[in-house]
Structure 1
Amino acid sequence: MSNSPRTGIAVAGLSLGTALNPLNSSMIAVALVVLRADFGLDVATVTWVITAFYLTSAAGQPLMGRLADRFGPRRLFMLGMGLVAVTCALAPFAPNFALLCVARAFMALGTATAFPSAVVMVAALARQANVKSTRPLGRIQMANTSAAAVGPVVGGLLVSLVGWQALFLINVPLSIAAILLVRRFAPADEGRERGRASELLRDSDIPGILAFLGAMVLVMMALLNVLPAYRWWLLGSGMLLAVLFVWRELRFSPPFLDLRLLGRNRPLLLVYLGFALFSGVYYFAFFGLPQLLQEAGGYDPGIVGLLMLPLAAMSVVVTPLAVRAIDRFGVKRVLIAGVVLLIVASGAMWLLTASFAIPLVFGLTALLGVPYGVVGIASSQGMYLSTRMEERGVAAGIYQTCRYLGAITATVLIGIFYGTGVNQENWGLMVFVMLGLGAVVFVVSLLWREREKT
């Protein structure tokens, strides 16, 4: 087999693995109401099945990017997919909601290996096929961007036909297929750093990871008012841990989250900030809308999945068009156009305070799919252009962390807004927040410039 077909199959395997993280982040959206009923939960508590996944992904992505740089992306990718297969085979038998959240965390850790590993492998894949790196990178980015949009459709069908357990079981054959394709067709890892397990632990900045995760958990517990009598203690402790995390990362080498990388690279910092805020806007709709349609609109989860289908379809259709537009007009122009569309789509969501008519919902989800595809691709291309080759593994990991920081913020705020009821009035308040965040994304996009080559 010639190199070009081998590369195409390898990219397909990497894309499949890369798709599992965003796919699983969004499939769960249409299962929240079912999980609440099965486990007897309230709105704020059930969001922890999302939050556990995002917290682990947010902490795991930068770490996995650094491990891919140090020890080999192909090896790390297969290890992560193996963890996904085992976890998802066992998760449907979880006897309580707490263990289900633990399973989601392990699944997130396994899927977190995929995107950073794939980005690190791009150069080798391009050399193997004798093509520009933008070709394999574009395909991997398309999988990463479009998978989340397909999630509610797939999730709605699985929940309706089988139950929430199917959301885990579907990952078993997919992760195994990704392992087999990458093992057979991806190029072998180049010479990488080797060392003893004790050295790996010493250099992995475990205190930094724990401080990052602890700060996020404590702040979210305070925002969700999990322990009302200790709310301000939780918030204060979370902020203190955040300060200690920053202090630690600036002093430790190599840090879990390279804050100095952001400090010396303004274009990359703007990409991260804009993408985190964009993700917050998007996941407001992504997780808030299915709950609204099910509880206030009275639609079955399967119907909700179908109502979200235009979002998935438009995102998939628009993504390759956005790639070609970037080649012609540049990243910045396409990014700004996508953000303008995001603001328009967010404002149009207010119409749902008046009606749940199926044609209206279809039109709104289709409209939202356009900026998701455009901004997602433009942001990832901006990240790639704003980063030196030797930093792309950890940069890709931090980029994914920004996605989940935005998603975590959205889920926390959804829990707050819907805490008094999943209804059209509270949805209207959420739309105003989406518009405010969208305006900030627009300003950030105007400020971004492509990093000068050095």
Structure 2
Amino acid sequence: MTPSDDSARPRPRPRTGAAVAALSLGTLLNPLNSSMIAVALVPLQHDFEVGVTAVTWVITSFYLASAAGQPLMGRLGDRFGPRRLFLFGMLVVVLACVLTPFSGSLAAVCVGRVALAVGTATAFPSAIALLRPLAATSGVGTPRLLGRIQIANTSGAAIGPVLGGALITFLGWQSIFWVNVPLALIAFAGVWFFAPRTAEKQERTPLARTLAESDIPGILLFVATLTSLLIFLLDLHPQPLWWLLPVCAVAAVLFVWRELRTAHPFLDLRLLAANRRLMLVYLSFAIFNVVYYSAFFGLPQYLQTHGGYSAGVAGLLMFPLAAVTIVVTPLAARAIESVGLRPTLIAGAVALVVGAALLAVAAATTAPWVVLLLTAALGIPYCVVSIGMNQALYSAARPEDSGVAAGIFQTSRYVGAIVATTVLGLLFSGGATGSSWLAAVAVATALAVVHLALLVFVRPGRTRPQGASEPAAG
């Protein structure tokens, strides 16, 4: 072996490890900022002297931008290269998180959250696109590299409430923006120095074609439909804005018309119409996320306003809801392999009904040990149903539609989160009291029952043989 060969072989592995670590850190930022905000809503209410319905836009704006941004960023990555897109996204995150803490209004904070969502939306599609050249240069399998990125997503959601609560307690709500700055800069540096540049040298799609295939009119109509509906629902009191209903209806009709006519739709409605099982997977997953995010965003508000806990303590009490997923997810994967997908999904759905109903106990007592048990109990169905629905998507979608199917799957997650925050904004409009919490629990439990009933009609089939391509990340 020549000296040059000897020096060339060990280099790719440390470089690959550093590149994957940087990509994982960037990917972590979206779920981290999704979950950190859960304990910041009450402080934001107090600082800007706004109600619950107004402060929910801090969450909703982030999810609207994420739902629209993920598919668009993926296509822009094809045009400009995933490495360049990732670096650009991290700079957007830094700029947004440096400026937003100095906002003088809640509207400005929402604008900052939109910019943060757009910046973090570049990370996941860029990371997925860079996995292939990383695997080729290192000899490490793509599934193993993808697994590391998926762990980062789970960890980001898990540590969000705890980290956010600690930061807000000692430094104020502004710190949940500032903390992104060093993280984004580290991710930027890691990708700048260690990620392969080969993907940037490939033949690029013309910009005009990229924009045409991104279906920007469809994205704008989708956002207009959801935004007009949400504003109408959140402003029911004291006087409904009735003119928004025809605006919503027109935007919805134009959206459907656009998606049925364009060759590259944002949401492939023909795909949904032709695949009933896939449509039921999306519907079930969206309803599941309404239940989950109702607890994830509603409980911290209730603990702070009704239970008298600080943001830091509320964050610690929320930790089991997400942290349990790290332990139970491998067990759920084994259960799918051993007993099958359908029994595992139904068991998770039953546990979701039980977990949602148990949240009513918090109306009687918010003792710390009780809240810890309640959040842990809800964390179990979260990971079981999440991994099960990912596999159901994989089984229901045709191989040639896997990319589009995975994109719509992510959109259904965001829609579920948006609906959850809207419901909470309506129910908590008079304050997060014991009675309003019971109402939120009743809605969540009823939807959990609907989710269980829908799974009776979902026929995901058998899991694919070992060695088949991995299901879409979720």
Q: Which has the higher contact order (CA 8 A, sep 6+)?
A: 1
Residue 449 of structure 1 pairs with residue 473 of structure 2? no
Aligned to 2:199, the other structure's residue is in SS state coil
- Aligned AA for 1:180? A
Distance change >3 Å, CA 374–CA 133, structure 1 → 2: farther
Indicate which of 117, 128, 139 corresponds to 2:126.
Answer: 117
Match of 1:150 in 2: 159
> Which has the larger displacement, 236-245 or 256-265?
256-265
2: CA distance, partners of 1:171 / 1:305? 18
Contact 2:235 2:241 in 1 (8 A): yes
Residue 45 of structure 1 pairs with residue 54 of structure 2? yes
Indicate which of 50, 72, 79 corresponds to 1:63.
Answer: 72
Contact 2:346 2:452 in 1 (8 A): yes
1:375-386 to structure 2, matched below 5 A, reads 375-384=385-394, 386=396
Cα displacement (A) at 1:184: 3.5
Cα displacement (A) at 1:99: 1.1
Residue 272 of structure 1 pairs with residue 282 of structure 2? yes
Contact 1:142 1:377 in 2 (8 A): no
Cα displacement (A) at 1:138: 2.9
2: CA distance, partners of 1:270 / 1:24? 29
Match of 2:302 in 1: 292
Match of 2:3 in 1: none
Cα displacement (A) at 1:310: 2.1
> Which has the larger displacement, 28-37 or 319-328?
319-328
Match of 2:33 in 1: 24
Match of 1:138 in 2: 147
Cα displacement (A) at 1:157: 0.5
Distance change >3 Å, CA 441–CA 116, structure 1 → 2: farther
TM-score by length of 1: 0.91
1:47-446 to structure 2, matched below 5 A, reads 47-69=56-78, 71-130=80-139, 132-187=141-196, 188-189=198-199, 194-225=204-235, 229-384=239-394, 386=396, 393-446=403-456
1: CA distance, partners of 2:19 / 2:274? 34
Larger Rg: 2
2: CA distance, partners of 1:139 / 1:27? 21
Contact 2:71 2:214 in 1 (8 A): no
Deviation readout 1:179-203 (Å, 9 max, x if unpaired): 2333444443276563554444444
Deviation readout 1:129-162 (Å, 9 max, x if unpaired): 5455433333322322342232111111110010
Distance change >3 Å, CA 183–CA 399, structure 1 → 2: farther
- Aligned AA for 2:96? T
Match of 2:471 in 1: none
Query: 5+ unaligned residues in a row in structure 1: which ranges?
Result: none
1: CA distance, partners of 2:264 / 2:161? 38
Aligned to 2:366, the other structure's residue is in SS state coil
- Aligned AA for 2:349? V
Distance change >3 Å, CA 408–CA 132, structure 1 → 2: same
> Which has the larger displacement, 184-193 or 404-413?
184-193
Distance change >3 Å, CA 89–CA 308, structure 1 → 2: same
Aligned to 1:232, the other structure's residue is in SS state coil
1: CA distance, partners of 2:124 / 2:386? 14
Distance change >3 Å, CA 119–CA 128, structure 1 → 2: same
> Which has the larger displacement, 41-50 or 74-83?
74-83
Distance change >3 Å, CA 51–CA 444, structure 1 → 2: same
2: CA distance, partners of 1:6 / 1:444? 46
Query: 5+ unaligned residues in a row in structure 2: which ranges?
Result: 1-9, 469-474
% identity of equivalent residues: 53
Contact 1:119 1:392 in 2 (8 A): no
1: CA distance, partners of 2:347 / 2:200? 40
Aligned to 2:309, the other structure's residue is in SS state coil
Deviation readout 1:245-301 (Å, 9 max, x if unpaired): 011011012222222333344454333222211111011001110111111111111
- Aligned AA for 1:175? A
- Aligned AA for 1:115? F
TM-score by length of 2: 0.87
Distance change >3 Å, CA 134–CA 39, structure 1 → 2: same
Distance change >3 Å, CA 128–CA 271, structure 1 → 2: farther
Contact 1:141 1:380 in 2 (8 A): no
2: CA distance, partners of 1:120 / 1:384? 19
